[in-house]
């Protein structure tokens, strides 16, 4: 039996103990956005530190102006060093009445087909994913006493609220974070039997439009037809931001947007993801993006603009005949390629200002954001991980773009000069950020085995 075979056997034989460790982690209600859970976030950080220390890492909990960061490191047999990133914080559980189980009392459920899944908040995002990596580390340490490569682990507690304090932490600890590659396990595989490596993450700009007109809400019978209505103005602005063909109308918005190579597009088309398979399960049928792009391109390689919420006027029960004096909308842009977040924000604001009529004014929100992240398709790290995943899953992994954003990955890439390697084992139906979040036992078990193989591959 080779060393790797012995490591994989150790993972298999100790799966129950691995689940117990995961369940202990999942019981911590580390909701970062809610100040009432500050102590639980601290407890989660201490839990991660203790886990790392038990694996032979030098590990510490570092205070930030928000929730603490855990940083640990251990040596490996090869000179190569990797940085593994994850987050211990989770989303709120509301609405609680839609959960079939208590969100912080993890359950192992057996489905009708005999498959099993782990049900709890954080099961897939991101505690279960973190543990796939740590259990692979545990197996290597138990079987051989050392890891194939040096490993630094960075686990934060504010990913779900924008990682607001992590960039400053990274700047202050650059020397301790130096690595040849950044490993991230906060993404999905393609389907239940096909692994995936995410080679691009969309960037993000989020902002808020606030329209103000009169100095107070007005009686619509007395002023209707003569006074500016803040909701009308906001609606006109929103409508103007998107063209009939689905393109975003902001001048200069598409600067830096690359075309996907034809061979990659051909691979994507062969995956069978169309409007019916992607939108059908959520009750939709017609792609709303650029009309000349396939749905898989719309979500993986093209930028997007969305209204996330609108507030204005009377929203209580019954009617109140007013002309609203204020209306606002929260918006996000998803960016790709070399789109510059600051340039996009400035162009968007200039476009909106030109649309504001007399007797109306506009102000904006924070307008912060992060650039997109891409991994060269000829990256040697990508090739090594691809071979390791193929060995575990019996088929080559799909290289895909990620529609979501993990803003800190761009920070780590540029600050450290290290390529990210995004290998996750979640599934699209894991219900992250929703009631009844789950992570399949297969995801957890084969995720740990996959990382064990990848760690060896990265040392070769």
pLDDT, tens digit, 9 for 90 and up, residues 154-194: 999 999 998 999 999 999 999 999 999 999 999 999 999 99
pTM: 0.84
Geometric angle at alpha carbon 302, from 297 and 304, rounded to 5°: 120
Do 333 and 344 form a contact (C-beta atoms < 8 A)? yes
pLDDT confidence tier of residue 410, bands split at 50, 70 and 90: confident
Whether 47 contacts 115, CB under 8 Å: no
Residue 91 and residue 31 in contact, taking contact as beta carbons nearer than 8 Å: yes
CATH topology agreement for domains 3-201+372-459 and 206-264+302-370: no
Which pLDDT value is given to residue 127?
Answer: 98
Separation in Å, CA 409 to CA 184, 292, 301, 371, 397: 8, 30, 17, 9, 21
Tell me what the pLDDT averaged over the chain comes to. 95
pLDDT the model gives residue 169: 97
Burial of 145 (0-12, 13-18, 19+ CB in 10 A): exposed
d(CA 36, CA 21): 25
**Nearest-angstrom CA–CA distance, 60 and 70:** 6
Using the predicted structure, report yes or no on whether residue 267 has a pLDDT greater than 90.
no
Q: Is 354 a residue whose pLDDT tops 90?
A: yes
State yes or no: pLDDT of 232 exceeds 80: yes
pLDDT at 404 over 80: no
Poorest-confidence range of 24-28, 181-185, 252-256, 369-373?
Answer: 369-373
Q: Residue 120, CB half-sphere, CA atoms under 13 Å: how many? A: 23
How confident is the model at residue 405, as a pLDDT?
74
pLDDT of the residue at 48: 98
When pLDDT is cut at 50, 70 and 90, the band that residue 24 belongs to is very high
Confidence band, pLDDT 50/70/90 cuts, at residue 207: very high
Mean pLDDT computed over 235-254: 97
The pLDDT value given to residue 375: 85
- Of the chain, the percentage scoring pLDDT greater than 90 comes to 87
Per-residue pLDDT, 59: 98
Residue 248 has pLDDT above 90, yes or no: yes
Q: Closest by alpha carbon to 215, among 313, 323, 325, 320? A: 325
Whether the per-residue pLDDT at 403 is higher than 80: the answer is no
Confidence at residue 255, expressed as pLDDT on a 0 to 100 scale: 96
**pLDDT for 277-308, tens place per residue?**
989 988 999 999 999 999 999 998 999 999 99
pLDDT recorded at residue 400: 86
Domain edges within the chain = 3-201+372-459, 206-264+302-370
**233 vs 274, residue with greater confidence:** 233
Q: Which residues of 17-43 are buried (b: 16+ CB within 10 A; e: fewer)?
A: ebbebbbebbbbbbbbeeeebeebbbb
Q: What's the pLDDT band for 16 if we cut at 50, 70, 90?
A: very high
User: What CATH class does 206-264+302-370 carry?
Assistant: alpha beta
Task: Report the pLDDT value the prediction gives residue 262, as an integer from 0 to 100.
Answer: 87
Q: In which element (H, E) is residue 323 found?
A: strand 322-323
Q: What is the pLDDT of residues 48-94, one digit of tens each?
A: 999 999 999 999 999 999 999 999 999 999 999 999 999 999 999 99
Query: What is the maximum alpha-carbon separation in the chain?
Result: 87
Residue 427 has pLDDT above 80, yes or no: yes
Question: Higher pLDDT residue, 404 or 202?
Answer: 202
Distances in Å between the alpha carbon of 127 and those of 42, 106, 189, 295, 353? 15, 12, 16, 30, 43
Residue 332: what pLDDT?
A: 95
Report the half-sphere exposure of 135 (CA within 13 A, side-chain side): 29
Quote the CA–CA distance of 340 and 336 in Å, as a whole number.
9
Residues 6+ apart with CB under 8 A from 321: 219, 220, 221
Tokens of 133: 């990596």
| CA angle 203–205–210, rounded 5-degree value | 165
pLDDT tens-place string over residues 101-126: 999 999 999 999 999 999 999 999 99
The DSSP line for 234-289 is: HHHHHHHTB-TTS-B-STTTTTTPPPPPHHHHHHHHTTT--HHHHHGGGT--S--S
The confidence score (pLDDT) of residue 348 equals 98
Q: Would you say residue 143 has pLDDT above 80?
A: yes
H or E segment at 364? Answer: strand 361-364
Cα–Cα distance measured from residue 164 to residue 156, given in angstroms and rounded to the nearest whole number: 11
* Average of per-residue pLDDT across 443-448: 98
Residue 331 pLDDT = 96
Q: How do 203-212 and 361-364 pair as beta strands?
A: antiparallel
Question: Cβ neighbours of residue 139 under 8 Å, at least 6 residues apart?
Answer: 7, 8, 10, 11, 14, 448, 452
Reference 422, options 319, 283, 300; nearest CA is 300
Q: CATH homologous superfamily of domain 3-201+372-459?
A: Zn peptidases (3.40.630.10)
DSSP of 97-163: GG-SS-TTS-EEEE-TTS-EEEESTTTTTTHHHHHHHHHHHHHHHHHHSSBSSEEEEEEES-GGGT-
């Amino acid at each position: 039996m080779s060393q790797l075979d012995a490591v994989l056997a150790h993972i298999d034989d100790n799966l129950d103990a691995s689940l117990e460790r995961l369940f202990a982690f999942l019981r911590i209600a580390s909701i970062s956005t809610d100040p009432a859970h500050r102590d639980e976030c601290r407890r989660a950080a201490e839990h991660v530190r203790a886990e790392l220390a038990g694996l032979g890492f030098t590990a510490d909990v570092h205070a930030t102006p928000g929730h603490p960061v855990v940083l640990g490191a251990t040596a490996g047999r090869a000179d190569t060093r990797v940085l593994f990133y994850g987050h211990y914080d989770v989303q709120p559980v509301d609405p609680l009445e839609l959960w079939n189980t208590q969100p912080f009392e993890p359950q192992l459920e057996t489905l009708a087909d005999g498959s099993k899944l782990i049900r709890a908040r954080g099961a897939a995002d991101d505690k279960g994913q973190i543990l796939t990596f740590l259990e692979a580390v545990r197996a290597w340490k138990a079987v051989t006493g050392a890891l194939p490569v040096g490993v630094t682990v960075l686990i934060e507690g504010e990913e779900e609220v924008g990682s607001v304090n992590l960039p400053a932490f990274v700047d202050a600890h650059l020397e301790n974070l130096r690595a040849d590659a950044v490993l991230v396990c906060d993404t999905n595989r393609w389907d239940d039997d096909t692994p995936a490596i995410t080679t691009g993450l969309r960037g993000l700009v989020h902002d808020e439009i606030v329209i103000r007109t009169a100095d107070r809400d007005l009686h619509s019978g007395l002023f209707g037809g003569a006074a500016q209505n803040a909701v009308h103005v906001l609606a006109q602005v929103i409508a103007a931001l998107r063209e009939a063909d689905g393109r975003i109308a902001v001048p200069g918005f598409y600067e830096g947007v690359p075309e996907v190579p034809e061979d990659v597009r051909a691979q994507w088309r062969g995956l069978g993801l169309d409007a019916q398979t992607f939108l059908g399960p959520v009750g939709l049928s017609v792609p709303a993006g650029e009309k000349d792009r396939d749905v898989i391109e719309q979500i993986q390689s093209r930028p997007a603009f969305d209204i996330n919420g609108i507030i204005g006027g009377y929203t209580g029960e019954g009617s109140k005949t007013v002309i609203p004096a204020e209306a606002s909308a929260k918006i996000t842009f998803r960016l790709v390629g070399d789109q510059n977040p600051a340039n996009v924000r400035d162009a968007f604001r200039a476009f909106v200002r030109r649309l504001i009529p007399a007797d109306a004014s506009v102000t904006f929100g924070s307008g912060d954001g992060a650039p997109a992240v891409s991994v060269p398709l000829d990256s040697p790290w990508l090739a090594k991980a691809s071979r390791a995943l193929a060995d575990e899953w019996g088929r080559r992994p799909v290289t895909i773009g990620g529609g979501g954003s993990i803003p800190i990955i761009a920070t780590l890439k540029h600050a450290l000069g290290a390529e990210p390697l995004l290998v996750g084992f979640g599934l699209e139906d894991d219900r992250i950020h929703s009631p009844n979040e789950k992570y399949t036992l297969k995801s957890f078990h084969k995720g740990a085995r996959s990382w064990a193989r990848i760690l060896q591959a990265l040392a070769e």
